[in-house]
Amino acid sequence: MDKLSEPDKRAFSDLPEIRYVKGIGPKRAEIFKTLGVHSVRDLLYFFPRRYEDRSRFTSIASAPPGEPVTCRGEILEVRFRPIRRMPLVEVLFGDASGTLRAVFFNQPYLKKTFEAGQHVIFHGKVENYEGRLQITNPEFEIVEEGDEDSAHVGRIVPVYPLTEGLFQRSLRVVLKDAVEIHLLRAVTDPLPPSLRSELDLVPLDRAVQNMHFPASFEDLAAARKRIVFDEFFDFFLRLMIRMKKLRTRLKAPRITAGPERFGEFRSTLPFPLTSSQEKALADIARDLATEIPMNRLLQGDVGSGKTVVAVFAFFLAAKAGYQSAFLIPTEILAEQHFRTISRFLAPLNVRVELLTKSVDADHRGRITADLKRGDLPVLVGTHAVLQEDVAFSNLGLVAIDEQHKFGVHQRNHLLKRTPRPHQLVMTATPIPRTLGLTVYADLDISVMRDMPAGRKPVKTYWITRAKQPEVFRHVAERLAKGEQAYIVFPLIEESEKADLLAAKKEFDRLKKSVFPGFKIGLVHGKLDRPERESIMRAFGRGEIRVLVATSVIEVGVDQPNATVMIIENAERFGLAQLHQLRGRIGRGEIESECFLFGEPSTEEGKKRLRLLTKLTDGFLIAEEDLKLRGQGDLLGTRQSGVPLFRVADLLTDEAMLILARDRARTIVDALDLDALKNPGHWIHKYLGERNVSLPHSS
């Protein structure tokens, strides 16, 4: 992080350590650290996850079923029912209009929390259960005497995320004191008044204050708008400065291609290119022709023909005298890509070799020797390509399939050289537009939505378990015609042993009773890699007719003869994951079918399966998945470098994201990078006060 100037250091020097903040202390300070709160400034940016309007409560009599409400009343009765495996605490509370029952499942300790006569606030959804209204597992807060003019009632009240050892009431008091005592010293507004006025943004100190204790929902909306802009603006400023450094200070080899190269490449293909492929070819040729290192993402749905586009890039590099490396995460996929790429490049007289850990020592020695001499233009391989003895003579292009499966240092191993190779990143995971603007914000993107001519969409059916025998008979008929099938089981970390046991048990049943005349294989994550890959190869050769698998089936596995997929317990998979699994079939000319066995208990689960039966476009599915699950689930872990925005929501804040991106781009385009060395420069000051995670740019 950029260092602070001396005035900035003095501004922060009189802030106490967080353990000395009123109401925290040493023990709570350690708890706060588990939530990422290490300083007073972190504390002030520890924003509520929602708000309750406690200036007006819903009366119990008017609480609408199916809607979330906040009710206040007096506890009339507390009952504990020690039901086996699911102890129940029932709290009957009432106000002047009537009574309502709050029910808590599997929280027996609450029987000591509630007492008759207490005044309590409950927040949750009112439900009609067996003819009576109740509120199940609500959030609650016991209201004490003297609260009437406090941070807890009579106003819009913040509700914070909690962890063990933190409680709403005490946390609210801590934040109220922190805002009143430390806000002006801990938060310096980096945006000049002219920019705030132009974008209609409130000052930062007011925004932070109103994020915690707004006087109205209008104030809250204005505060949130400012914080959302700051998060996006900060992200794009840092990222674009890094990209500008990369593009102005590093040089890549010029790989030029005239129209004759395009014609030569097309003439050897046994099929016409789609419009998306043609556009991607043009994008790549334009990037390769400059000294600015290409940093392009080739994003396409399953089966959209990304490999052919990558082959074109390898062809251009080879004809210009440069070598290419293609990194693949697994041996199975590497072998598959090697066969495909060799088939395309052989008519163009471009040699390709495969390097994995399974390659014998003699062959490996010949490959590495040819690489060093510059006699091998294209190398396809797994992590084995990253070994120290693998040295390229004139590496000009690095392609990476599903880059998140390689570490940052592994990806950079081939890129950190002079001249810097061009980079092409490929993914078969369609992502929504707003996620693409952040997850891959440091890459230029080529999107491939068209499917090759003749590719038939997979027919998808949501089937009840009662029809399973009928489906199995149908599958057996297709197997008898020489086709192949997948049967997929979920394998979820929390219940991995039970899931695996169920898959093995069903495998035995299928083998003995359902498909006795066909060879069946079983693959799962607990198998040794050589055994798993041996089974997958046998399936690829058609020797195994039915593959029973957990969700370890590799993205990109291409078996055109596999025409049927059955997904067990489909409700346990995400929408995008189901689409990825379905993409393993429908890769040949025969019409394919996917059967979803699932009995979801929630409306969201039912909607997910219904959508999959109607949609085949991975990009539309990704958009729907974002709507259903929210950005948190889809962003995943931080290993890919995706920032976990505290307030901004990629689904609802797209307009602000684009505004912040465009404003940052305008500033950085006009910026002399050397100006960042000047501590007085306001962008430097802005960046110096932030500590935001960024994608690991190469």
Per-residue pLDDT tens digits for 515-541: 998 999 988 767 777 787 788 888 888
Q: How confident is the model at residue 678 (pLDDT cuts 50, 70, 90)?
A: low
Whether the predicted pLDDT of 665 surpasses 60:
yes
396-403: average pLDDT: 87
pLDDT at 637 over 50: no
What pLDDT sits at residue 501? 75
Task: Look at residue 153 and tell me whether its pLDDT is greater than 90.
Answer: no
Distance CA 558, CA 540 (A): 8
d(CA 86, CA 74): 26
* pLDDT of res. 688: 47
Judge whether residue 698 has pLDDT over 70. no
Residue that the structure tokens 């998140």 belong to:
404
Got the DSSP string for 354-418? Answer: EE-TTS-HHHHHHHHHHHHHT---EEEESGGGGSTT---SSEEEEEEESGGGS-HHHHHHHHSSS
DSSP letter for each residue of 264-324: HHHHT-SSPPPHHHHHHHHHHHHHHTSSSPPEEEEEE-TTS-HHHHHHHHHHHHHHTT-EE
pLDDT over 80 (residue 305): yes
State both tokens at 217. 């929902």
At 333, is the pLDDT very low, low, confident or very high (cuts 50, 70, 90)?
confident
- The pLDDT of residue 310 is 95
608-617 CB burial, b ≥16 within 10 A, e <16? bbebbeebbe
Long-range contacts of residues 382-386, Cβ cutoff 8 Å, at least 24 apart:
382/327, 382/328, 382/329, 382/330, 382/331, 382/334, 382/355, 382/356, 382/357, 383/327, 383/357, 383/410, 384/355, 384/356, 384/357, 384/359, 385/325, 385/327, 385/355, 385/414, 386/327, 386/410, 386/413, 386/414
pTM: 0.68
pLDDT beyond 90 at 559: no
pLDDT at 195: 86
Highest mean pLDDT among 285-294, 488-497, 578-587: 285-294
Angle at 430 (CA atoms; ends 403, 435), nearest 5 degrees:
85
* Cβ within 8 Å of residue 471, ≥6 positions away: 463, 566, 595
> What integer pLDDT is reported at residue 598 of this predicted model?
87
Is the per-residue pLDDT at 202 higher than 70? Answer: yes
Residue-averaged pLDDT of the chain: 83
The encoded tokens of residue 527 equal 């198998």
Q: Is 393 a residue whose pLDDT tops 50?
A: yes
State the DSSP code for 254: -
690 neighbors 189 (Cβ within 8 angstroms)? no
Q: How confident is the model at residue 100 (pLDDT cuts 50, 70, 90)?
A: very high
- Mean pLDDT of the 41-68 span: 87
pLDDT at 357 over 70: yes
Tell me the C-alpha distance between 558 and 565, whole Å. 14
Region 567-585 average pLDDT: 85
Higher confidence at residue 85 or residue 51?
51
pLDDT tens-place string over residues 456-499: 788 999 988 888 899 999 999 999 999 999 999 887 555 667 77
Distance separating alpha carbons of residues 415 and 379, to the nearest angstrom: 15
Cα dihedral value 533, 534, 536, 542, nearest 10: 160
Question: Residues with Cβ < 8 Å from 669, sequence gap 6 or more?
Answer: none
Tokens 């195994």, residue located? 544
Q: CA gyration radius for the chain?
A: 30
Whether residue 152 is predicted with pLDDT greater than 90 in this model: the reply is no
Beta strands in 428-518 (DSSP E): 444-448, 459-463, 484-489
Q: Which two tokens stand for residue 380?
A: 């396809």
Higher pLDDT, 488 or 404: 488
> Can you tell me the mean pLDDT for 160-181?
85
Residues forming a β-bridge with 133: 128
334, two tokens: 């590497």
pLDDT for position 403? 67
The pLDDT, as a whole number, for residue 454 is 67
For residues 135-143, give the mean pLDDT. 84
Least confident of 277-291, 293-307, 684-698: 684-698
Q: How many CB atoms lie within 10 A of CB 247?
A: 15
Q: What is the pLDDT of residue 12?
A: 43
pLDDT of residue 363: 93
Highest mean pLDDT: which range of 147-151, 182-186, 636-640, 653-657: 653-657
Q: How far apart are CA 539 and CA 403, in angstroms?
A: 26
Residue 690 clears pLDDT 70, i.e. is over it = no
Has residue 605 got a pLDDT over 90? no
Q: pLDDT class for 247, splitting at 50, 70, 90?
A: confident
Neighbours of 606 (CB within 10 A): 15
Residue 676's pLDDT is 61
Average the pLDDT over each of 96-100, 190-194, 621-625 and give the range with the smallest value.
Answer: 621-625
Instruction: Give, as one character, the DSSP assignment of residue 103.
Output: E
Mean pLDDT computed over 341-352: 94
551, 581 in Cβ contact below 8 A? Answer: yes
Residues 6+ apart with CB under 8 A from 11: 185, 188
- DSSP alpha helices (H): ranges in 487-617? 496-509, 529-540, 575-582, 603-614
Residue 694: its pLDDT value, please?
35
47 in Cβ contact with 63 (< 8 Å): no
Query: What is residue 289's predicted lDDT score, i.e. its pLDDT?
Result: 94
- Residue 131 Ramachandran class (φ > 0 left, ψ -120 to 50 alpha, else beta): left
| Minimum mean pLDDT range among 167-176, 188-197, 215-224, 396-405 | 396-405
Using a CB cutoff of 8 Å and minimum separation of 24, what contacts does 689-692 make? Answer: 689/4, 689/8, 689/188, 689/190, 690/1, 690/234, 690/238, 691/1, 692/231, 692/234, 692/235, 692/238, 692/643
